Amino acid sequence: MSFMKLAAERYSVRKFSSRSVEPEKLATVLEAGRLAPTAANKQPQRIFVLQSEAALAAVRESTKFHFSTPLVLLVCYDEAKAWQNPFTGRSSGEVDAAIVTTHLMLAAASLGLGTTWVGYFKPEPLIEFCKLPAGIKPVAMLPLGYPAADATPSPMHGSREALTATVKYL
Ligand SMILES: Cc1cc2nc3c(=O)[nH]c(=O)nc-3n(C[C@H](O)[C@H](O)[C@H](O)COP(=O)(O)O)c2cc1C
């Protein structure tokens, strides 16, 4: 599939079938995250594959946007490893984690899997369950699975600004 077709056809899947994700497909998705670029190649991402009953209970306590998938990826970054921008004083960790998450999401779509990027979550249950030290910052959750036969994109998927609203040629 061409990149433009993948970019256009990927959508936030919020209804899943009961079919399990094959370990090889999960491995491919994770490999796509490993290949993502990060600032100064620091690779501060830390990804937790949540699939045990206890892990999924923590997910459900953390967010209503879990879509009942038996597999959820939690993408974090390690503050101590992330590049610090000397001009702004800001850590690049969140940007790096976002790039990694985008790779995971697009790789999943290319394999016929569905995800939704979930930013609306309470971090505490996950911090407690994963025993995350203070420097490991959760950024995104990705419930992962096969889309249900009747899954459809939300109207927001078709709603994008025109390039004239977001791009300026100077
Ligand atoms: C940073 C970020 C956070 C998001 N958080 C949530 C969320 O908590 N719950 C949810 O249902 N969708 C969430 N989404 C999905 C967006 O609503 C969705 O990507 C957007 O409406 C466009 O729709 P599409 O992905 O189907 O193209 C999030 C997306 C991004 C990029």
- Domain residue extents for the chain: 8-148
Closest residue by CA, ligand 1 atom 31: 117
Separation CA 69–CA 14 (nearest Å)? 10
The whole-number pLDDT of residue 53 equals 98
User: Class assignment of domain 8-148?
Assistant: alpha beta
The residue written with tokens 């620091």 in the block is: 42
The verdict on the CB of residue 116 being under 6 Å from ligand 1 is yes
Looking at residues 18-29, what average pLDDT do you find?
97
Output the pLDDT for position 1.
Answer: 78
Does the Cβ of 67 fall within 6 Å of ligand 1? no
- Residue-wise pLDDT tens digits, 75-130: 999 999 999 999 999 999 999 999 999 999 999 999 999 999 999 999 999 999 99
With a 6 A CB cut-off, is 48 part of the ligand 1 pocket? no
Say if residue 45's pLDDT is above 90.
yes
Residue 37 Cβ contacting ligand 1 at under 6 Å: no
CA distance 53 to 64: 16
Q: What is the pLDDT of residues 143-167, one digit of tens each?
A: 999 999 999 999 999 999 999 999 9
Q: Which atom of ligand 1 is nearest to the CA of 63?
A: 8
| CA 9 to chain centroid | 17
Give the chain's mean pLDDT.
98
Quickly list DSSP for 71-132: -EEEEEEETTTSPBPTTT--BSHHHHHHHHHHHHHHHHHHTT-EE--B----SHHHHHHHT-
pTM: 0.97
Q: Is the per-residue pLDDT at 47 higher than 90?
A: yes
Residue 143 parent element (H or E): strand 136-145
Q: Measure 106 CA to ligand 1 centroid, in angstroms.
A: 14
If you measure from the C-alpha of residue 170 to the centroid of ligand 1, how many angstroms do you get, rounded to a whole number?
Answer: 31
pLDDT at position 58 over 90: yes
